[in-house]
Amino acid sequence: MPSYSVALLAPRDPASGSGWQRILDQEGVPHHLATSAADLPGSALLLGEGELPEWAAEHIRAGGVGVLSGARALPDHEPGLAQRVRAVISGFTTPGGRWAAAPGPVTLLPRGTHPARPGAGSFRVHEDRVPKYDSDPDVLPVLATHGIGRGTLLYSPVALTELLMAEGDRLRRFSELSLVTERVSAIDKADVADTLLALLRAGFRRAGLPLVRLGRYPGGAPSVLIVRVDVDGAFAPRTQMLLDATTAADLPASFFVNADLCRAHPGLPEEWPAAVEVGQHADVHTAFDTVDENLRNLRAGAAWVEERTGRTVRSFVAPRGLWNPALGTALRTLGYPYSSDFGLDFDSLPFRDSSGLLQVPVHPYSPERARRWADETGEAPLGAAETAAYYEAVARRQIALGRPVHIYGHPEVLGQMAGVVVPALAALARAAGLAVRTLGEYAAFWQRREQMRLAAAYDDATGVLELKTAAGERDGVTIVVEPSATTSKVVLDGTAYPVVPGRELVLEGTR
Ligand SMILES: [Zn+2]
């Protein structure tokens, strides 16, 4: 039986990392790195960025399927249409119909090679214009198809993989559900990641192969609820109010305590229930340029929080959502398992940042920032019921998009709303069947999931997909198979499961 694995073409610039690597890791799709034609036999699909090397183009001409992000040139296009014009865009409409901020250059490939079709997404060379005389020129698809030889190349002119890996944040709106602004990643990476997954899915469909991936949430739940409090000042009794409300709602929360702001606004709870995660949020409330300065800030933060709470502190989220490689390296040096920095990414699935640290992105709205924004703009501040309704709307959207529900706030304002907001979130989690976890618990689940080594083989003739995991590996991690039209049966570790065409098959691990 032929092996089943996605061939990832090594990125041209290894220092920039590969956005495809992040997607494959995020989804848990079996894959291998390809640096020459010798790595290609038996590959389900080829994934590349920019331009294809000739040996990869040759593989596609012979009947293969390739997927290219940020296409700068296409093999075998018609002579005479070889112009390669660059344009700068501020964003695009995803195949799912969402607007994604994605500033940067795109290559405008020969027009005849990318006819627009439904579900392909779009971008405009001339942005923010109204069609006149029935003409709306230069609206181009985000996902396009190009036949070469007996094979197919699916491609995007938008440099999706590069956008996913780029740093840079600014003050802006971050959600279609709110006018509030925050200093967040300049790129809507959750939407960029979804677009890359759509491109990958289209590749599997074209190749006639089932897509195998790992479930995103413990026990196959539709999403996870993580409630997080950044304790930027205890503001007694408001931290206690949040602690009491989450305990009463049986909703284990994560509290990250900043030393400096708690010295200014004291009154931390005397006792912390065992189910509650207590982490630190630095000594002084910022990030620094050097590893040494960040180390000093982290060590002092941990010591202060440990002394005040009596808990061992080994987790951290970044003040002000600020992230840089020096902070990542400092956290890795101290053995911290994860961070969560909305200046780098928000609303997305967990991923490894360039320092190798696990990032667990949050939704960047806080009632405290919303209060300040209302003061600045003259808008009326949101009350407790409106804040609960906003979080619920965010949760419903995240669930619908298959993303985590990771929300946060502070004692200063959210503390006063705890009695309204927390029960509403707990009720929503029960009704929607969400897995409720602390940030640390979900990060630990994700690390177990990362350890899974899924071996797969697919027989084109019989449509049988065979999957193998190592013994004891599937603790709460599910395996998801999206069958192709010809997939007849899935065999996981020797047990056979029938396939219903067009329906996702979720195989549960032991809990
Ligand atoms: Zn903070």
- Using the mean position of ligand 1's atoms as its centre, give its distance from the Cα of residue 322 in Å: 10
Neighbours of 447 (CB within 10 A): 13
pLDDT number for residue 117: 72
* Six-digit token string for 310: 């009596």
- Token pair, residue 92, equals 């695009």
* Residue 305 DSSP SS3: helix
**Count of alpha carbons within 13 angstroms of residue 32, beta-carbon side:** 17
State the Cα–Cα distance between residues 253 and 262, nearest whole angstrom. 19
Tokens, residue 110: 């020969």
- Does pLDDT of 472 surpass 80? no
- pLDDT at residue 511 is higher than 50: no
pLDDT of residue 453: 83
- How many A from CA of 232 to the centre of ligand 1? 5
User: Using an 8 Å Cβ cutoff, are 235 and 415 in contact?
Assistant: yes
Is residue 187 pLDDT above 70, yes or no?
yes
Residue 4, pLDDT above cutoff 90: no
User: What pLDDT, on the 0 to 100 scale, is given for residue 508?
Assistant: 82
Lowest pLDDT segment from 139-143, 195-199, 295-299, 436-440:
139-143
Q: At what angle do helices 189-207 and 19-27 cross, to 10 degrees?
A: 80
Q: Within a 13 Å sphere around the CA of 216, how many CA atoms are in the beta-carbon half?
A: 21
Q: For the chain, give the mean pLDDT.
A: 93
Name 46's bridge partners: 7, 66
Interatomic CA distance for residues 388 and 365, integer angstroms: 12
Q: What is the pLDDT of residues 386-406, one digit of tens each?
A: 999 999 999 999 999 999 999
The rounded Å distance from CA 379 to ligand 1 centre is 24
How far does the centroid of ligand 1 lie from the alpha carbon of residue 231, in Å? 7
**Residue 76 contacts residue 92 (beta carbons within 8 Å):** no
The alpha carbon of 261 and the centre of ligand 1 are apart by a number of angstroms equal to 9
Contact between residue 384 and residue 409 where contact means Cβ atoms under 8 Å apart:
no
pLDDT at 193: 98
**DSSP 8-state assignment for residue 382:** P
Classify domain 218-448 at the CATH superfamily level.
Answer: Glycoside hydrolase/deacetylase (3.20.20.370)
Are 84 and 109 contacting, i.e. CB atoms less than 8 angstroms apart? yes
The CA 434 to ligand 1 mean position distance, Å, reads 26
pLDDT of residue 79: 54
403 C-alpha to ligand 1 centroid (Å): 23
Average pLDDT over residues 249-259: 97
Q: What is the pLDDT of residue 416?
A: 98
State in Å: Cα 296 to ligand 1 middle: 18
Q: What is the pLDDT of residue 136?
A: 85
- Kindly report, residue by residue over 123-135, the tens digit of the pLDDT: 999 999 988 999 8
Q: Which two tokens stand for residue 96?
A: 């799912």
Cα distance between residue 492 and residue 122, in whole Å: 39
Q: Where are the domains of the chain?
A: 5-214, 218-448, 454-507
319: left (phi over 0), alpha (psi -120 to 50) or beta: beta
| Ligand 1 centre distance from Cα of residue 468 (Å) | 43
Q: What is the mean pLDDT of residues 200-215?
A: 94
Q: How far is the CA of 288 from the centre of ligand 1 (A)?
A: 15
**3-class DSSP state of 33:** strand
pLDDT higher than 50, residue 251:
yes
pLDDT of residue 294: 98
Amino acid at 62: A
Percentage above 70 pLDDT, the chain: 95
Integer angstrom CA distances of residue 249 from 109, 201, 404, 423: 55, 39, 20, 6
Range 5-214 has CATH code 3.40.50: yes
CA–centroid distance, residue 319 to ligand 1 (Å): 4
Helical pair 367-377 and 411-432, crossing angle rounded to 10 deg: 120
Q: Using pLDDT thresholds of 50, 70 and 90, give the confidence band for residue 242.
A: very high
Number of neighbouring beta carbons within 10 Å of residue 32: 14
Place of tokens 């698809």: 141
Answer yes or no: is pLDDT of 332 > 90: yes
pLDDT value, residue 122: 93
pLDDT digits (tens, 9 = 90+) for 68-84: 999 988 887 765 444 56
476 confidence band (pLDDT: 50, 70, 90): confident
**One-letter amino acid of 498:** P
- Quick check: 246 pLDDT over 50? yes
**Count of CA atoms in the C-beta half-sphere (13 A) of 123:** 26
Residue 461 tokens, joined: 């003739």
CA of residue 280 to ligand 1 center, whole Å: 10
Fold agreement between 5-214 and 218-448: no
Flag whether pLDDT at 91 surpasses 50. yes
227-244 mean pLDDT:
98
Residue that wins the pLDDT comparison between 102 and 460 = 102
The pLDDT value given to residue 114: 55
Per-residue model confidence (pLDDT) at position 474:
76
Mean pLDDT of 38-63: 91
